[in-house]
Amino acid sequence: MSGVVDRRGERERRSPPAVVARCAGGSGVRELLAGLEEEGVPVRLASGTPTGGAATSPADSGEAATAVELAHAAARASPLDVGVGIDVEGRVCVHHAKRPADRPVVTTDATRARWCGHNAARLVVGLPLKEPPEQLEETWPQH
Amino acid sequence: MTLLVGVDIGNSTTEACLAECGPDGPRYLGGALTSTSGVKGTADNVPGVVKVVQEALSAAGRDQHELAAVLVNEATPVISGLAMETITETVITESTMIGHNPDTPAGAGLGTGTTVAFAELGACAPGERVICVAGAGVDFEDAAAGIAAARDRGVEVTGAVVQADDANLIVNRLPTPIPVVDEVTLVEKVPLGMPAAVEVAEPGRTVRTLSNSYGIATLFDLDPDQTRLVAPVARALVGNRSAVVVRTPSGDVADRRIPAGTLTLIGEHARLPVGVDAGAEEIMATLRRVTPLADATGEAGTHVGGMLATVRDAMAETLSDTGGEQDAAIQDVLAVDTFVPQRVTGALAGEFALENAVALAAMVRTSRAPMEALAGQLRSALDVDVHVGGVEADMAVLGALTTPGTRRPLAVLDLGGGSTDAALATGDGEVHSVHLAGAGDLVTKLIDSELGLDNRDVAEDIKKNPLAKAESFFHVRMEDGTARFFDEPLPAEAFARVVVLGEGGMRPVPTRHPLEKVRRVRRSAKHKVFVVNALRALERVAPGGNLREIGFVVVLGGSALDFEIPDMIAEAVAAAGVVCGTGNVRGSEGPRNAVATGLVDEHAGRTR
């Protein structure tokens, strides 16, 4: 099959530096992007399968990919080495391409998607991670 | 040949030195170290002593039956205590300023107008200059849409104060940017309908107008008396990237000087009062004039009175364990100037202000510790002869003299946890010693309070170890610029933080201060306590107060193991032409084990 060239990889390399987010579920996506925007770090949304559809992984055929798998695939695709994954169950994970696949930076649920966005951005700019928003969550129901 | 063990019971560690004594003098077989059980000089020490003796014996492969005697020193009868009080205070009555530093304020420039709640924006008349205040639960898209709509109607929304971390999100959605300060936790307390100003500086810069008293005076049209009142506001905002000032009719930020009181230093010949707010330097100068100190008292009902009461209470507690009525006359004080970050009273975003404070270490001479009772219990626990003898300072000098390259006249500097002790052995064998307040514990306390850690363990780690910054998940940069790589990824909590690499592994320092600042605090705390005390102690023991007469200075004690304190002291005394260095007892023990070794040495000398 000579002559057929897959240029998707090349296009990815040429794309401007950005954190990559792979979201299988819809919950928390808006908050996640808001966190990144507030910190001023660009982000690119990609499809919610671990390998971006280029090849099918074993996990893809059977059950849906976990947030950790999505995040790690996203981090490896990101020119900034930082990726975020949201799975269908609403788990959110922030990963760095240079970390072992099974040891993400943070894993949490969609209620803290905003916090994950902030932290993904902070990994890029080299700032300490934000404190978990425990106190905020407690005060929300009162309003 | 007799087998002897010398045991030194210190405030924090108990050390042993095992030796075989023959006609040719002692032959050292080894030593051991364990933590002291109970308060030094009490019967609670027995388990620690038993443990250390057994450890020394088993390390040398000897049996307890071979042991001829245990030698215990006369404990130094001093106890020290610490207290710290702020002498300035920033109080905001009726909220007038928000001077916190959110990580991501947005927009740039200065906005002025009347504060209006976000919900009331629609009711504002065109042409009105307003500052929008958005509380909890206002979404950034709604906020941006509301502000944009108001501006379309001609309402001049010149700035905004919001509760959530939303500043950039709002500004990015506005047709023209306005300064927005976010993460104001108590936004509902911002007074509405009052003239206010919001300032955000460009990244990398700090606010210019609101940190300038005349800038605030210009904005709010203040007279000279009112300007005087807002000066503390301006001062508190210096160095911030963003700030909000709200002018309330009765609002006031007071920069109060707390009546710190007068410390009266009673010497043997003179009695001099000194105001604590005059600072540490003045207190120490007064102390030099009354030396030797017989006692010190603080003015009742003031901070210094409270400080000395705290010190005395702490000491009384320790003394109650040793039994008997004690006369707690203060024999030495060390005053140190320091800063304490304190939560500003009445602040809206959890702001801190650096307040001046004075730390005071005091030391009390106690009557003799009940060593005989301890010796009796030791005798039955170990089933050997126990001799109590030897003044601690004399023993330390004898131990220090086993350091290669030393001879009399020799001075010993014992840098401990509670006190700094010095002893000088002149050529004719006479030993002159002093005990000064202030040592390792005070350094830890200064680091803890100046960095606002409120965690003694972290402060202790910072004191003992070099700092590093985690630059990636796999490497840290040490404070001297060298990099260190790790095979295992670092924990996420450590990322981009200042960390200490202690014995227990890596520990992130919970602070926003840059590495440089933490390092500066650490070094200045050590300087303010140990270098000052080393010079004070050596001057007191040196003949005629002349350091040049000393010759050799051997630094001993737990703090002599520190990675920079001995160097700082050596540098400070180098000018006097003194040979100064960390001791190496018996050529192998470093600055440890001097007293235990001295006990054996002295005993061997007597029996020969």
ipTM, two decimals: 0.80
Between CA B82 and CA B361 the distance in angstroms is 4
Q: Which two tokens stand for residue A42?
A: 């660009």
B149 touches chain A (CB under 8 A): no
Identify the pLDDT of residue A108.
Answer: 92
CATH fit for domain B1-77+369-391, picks 3.40.50.720, 2.40.30.10, 3.40.50.620, 3.30.420.40: 3.30.420.40
> Residues of A numbered 73-132 whose beta carbons fall under 8 angstroms of chain B's beta carbons: which are they?
96, 98-100, 103, 105-106, 118, 122-123, 126-129
Residue A74 near residue A67 (C-beta atoms within 8 A): no
The tokens describing B223, both together, are: 């007279």
* Distance in angstroms (rounded) separating the CA atoms of residues B199 and B211: 10
In CATH, the number for domain B93-252 is 3.50.30.70
pLDDT tier, B564 (very low <50, low <70, confident <90, very high otherwise): very high
Interface test with A, best of B138, B187, B476, B495 (most A CBs within 10 A): B495
Residue in chain B closest to A106 (alpha carbons) equals: B492
Give me the residue spans of the domains in chain A: 16-127
CB-closest option in B140, B172, B496 to A127: B496
> Contact, B90 vs B361, CB < 8 A?
no
pLDDT at B319: 61
Residue B300's pLDDT band, with cuts at 50, 70 and 90, is confident
Please report, for chain B, the start and end positions of each structural domain, with discontinuous segments joined by +: 1-77+369-391, 81-87+258-365, 93-252
Which string of DSSP letters, residue by residue, matches B59-99? Answer: HHT--GGGEEEEEEEE---EEEEEEEEESEEEEEES--EE-
Q: Provide the CATH topology of domain B81-87+258-365.
A: Ribosomal Protein L22; Chain A (3.90.470)
In the three-class reduction of DSSP (H, G, I as helix; E, B as strand; rest coil), residue B343 is classed as strand
Chain B CA closest to residue A130: B493
Contact A38 B474 (CB under 8 A): no
d(CA B118, CA B144): 10
User: Please, are residues B207 and B213 in contact by the beta-carbon 8 Å criterion?
Assistant: no
Q: In chain A, what residues touch B495 (CB-CB under 8 Å)?
A: 105, 122-123, 128-129
pLDDT, tens digit (0-9, with 9 covering 90-100), for B160-192: 999 999 999 999 999 999 999 998 888 888 888
Q: Which segment of B59-63, B346-350, B461-465 scores lowest on mean pLDDT?
A: B346-350
**Residues 6 or more apart from A8 whose CB is under 8 A from it?**
A52, A54
The identity of residue A12, as a single letter, is E
Residue of B168, B172, B474 lying closest to A98 (CB–CB): B474
Dump pLDDT digits (tens) for B243-278. 888 887 665 555 566 677 888 999 888 899 998 888
Helix (H, G, I), strand (E, B) or coil at B517: helix
List the single best residue of A32, A36, A38 to mutate versus B (max B Cβ within 10 A).
Answer: A38
What is the rounded average pLDDT of the residues B144-149? 95
Rg of chain A over all Cα atoms, to the nearest angstrom: 16
Contacts for A113 with CB less than 8 Å, ≥ 6 apart: A27, A28, A29, A31, A32, A35, A86, A92
Provide the β-strand partners of residue B404.
none
Instruction: Put the strands of the sheet holding B431-437 in their side by side order.
Output: B431-437, B419-425, B410-415, B552-556, B579-582
In chain A, which stretches have pLDDT less than 50? 1, 52-61, 135-143
Residue A84, pLDDT score: 95
Q: Which residue has the higher pLDDT, B100 or B57?
A: B57
Contact residues on chain B for A99, CB-CB shorter than 8 A:
473, 489
Q: Using a CB–CB cutoff of 8 Å, tell me whether B37 touches chain A.
A: no
Q: Give the pLDDT confidence of B579-603 residue by residue, as tens digits.
A: 999 999 999 989 989 999 999 988 8
Residue B474 distance to chain A (closest CA, Å): 9
Among B548, B551, B549, B538, CA closest to B579:
B551
Size of interface A-B (CB pairs under 8 A): 49
d(CA A5, CA B190): 62
Residue A30 has a pLDDT of 93
Q: Are residues B165 and A38, on separate chains, in Cβ contact within 8 Å?
A: yes
Q: Is A34 on the interface with B (CB under 8 A)?
A: yes
The dotted CATH code for A16-127 is 3.40.50.10150
Instruction: Please list every residue in chain A whose beta carbon sits closer than 8 Å to the beta carbon of residue B137.
Output: 143
Q: Specify the pLDDT at position B16.
A: 93
- Antiparallel, parallel or unpaired: β B271-275 and B262-267: antiparallel
Nearest to A37 among B103, B172, B474 (CB): B172
Phi, psi of B484 (to 5 degrees): -135, 130
Name beta bridge partners: B88: B257
What does the pLDDT average to over B414-442? Answer: 87
